[in-house]
Structure 1
Amino acid sequence: MSELVAKRAAGMAPRQSLFLVFRIGDERYALQAIEVAEVLPRLALKPIARAPSWVAGVFAYRGAVVPVIDVGELAFGQPAQARTSTRLVLVHYQPDDATPGQLLGLILEQATDTLRCNPADFQPYGLDNRQAPYLGPVREDAQGLLQWVRVADLLDAQVRALLFPSPPLDLAMLEEHP
């Protein structure tokens, strides 16, 4: 009988999710690992002219050109430091259900740790920060507060149109009118 009780208790355990933890300065942030496609070392990028300063550039990845943003520059105006732990993290970016998902690169400092926890442990922090809608709820642990960064909310409509034009640019038109 105790075996049945143990199985029921295990089935009722809180749902755990894996998060990639990174830092901006001294503060900790997290991305849900299910949104991460791949973690790469920091790579050389081709800059995009006249883009916002936090758009770090683009790079070629498996036959596709992927835009990259510096999350530290986006959030606080401080570019990521060139450390051995600074990573280029590819995420599945899909701002809504009607838009097809695309790869987006994020430059993240100290993106070397993971954390498994219940997403319900993250709680609202009492501020309606419309200038940074990607900064989600926070979770308290022994190291302080950890803030969830929501990938779908990283780009506003103007930057999304710059990085992911819809419809995509027609190369044939460029060849006709040099």
Structure 2
Amino acid sequence: MNLPNSLTIARLILIPVFLLTASMKFLYADYAAAGIFLLAALTDGLDGYFARKKNEVTRLGNFLDPVADKILITAALISLVELGRLAGWIAIIIISREIAVTGLRALAAAEGIVIYPSRLGRTKTVSQVVAVAALFLRDFSFNIINVPFTHIAVAFTLILTVWSGLDYFVKFRSPADKKHL
């Protein structure tokens, strides 16, 4: 097993650890959960970097990496809803977009088209990671200056999530763009 796939497997292993920590009630559980979540999210960037740098892109990695990403984000969003820190409708919109784009990628793959993550899609992922971490940290450093950072981060993430999802579908519908996905 190559390094990028090992990092993806590590992300999958970290998900239940994250969920367990997020559900615990000890003094710094939120900070520990945020740290584990951020570590898992970091493996997402690293696996792609190493796969491209070492030319170790595999079919397993192409399949497993986006699945691991979706499971991590979905687990975090559901945990935040359960903790009462995120409205359920926001989680449903974000999770629905992730499922829809995954379905679109599967449909494209059946037509022999690989849909690579767009810059907008990568920005959306970063915004999701920041918003989830901020929700677990409860505006830790921003409370001092009275800035509702989590509200801003969640709103920004919601907009980017919908926008990037629509972008994938619009580009896939256009036959001229299919060559460039």
* TM-score, normalised relative to structure 2: 0.27
Which has the larger share of strand? 1
* TM-score, normalised relative to structure 1: 0.27
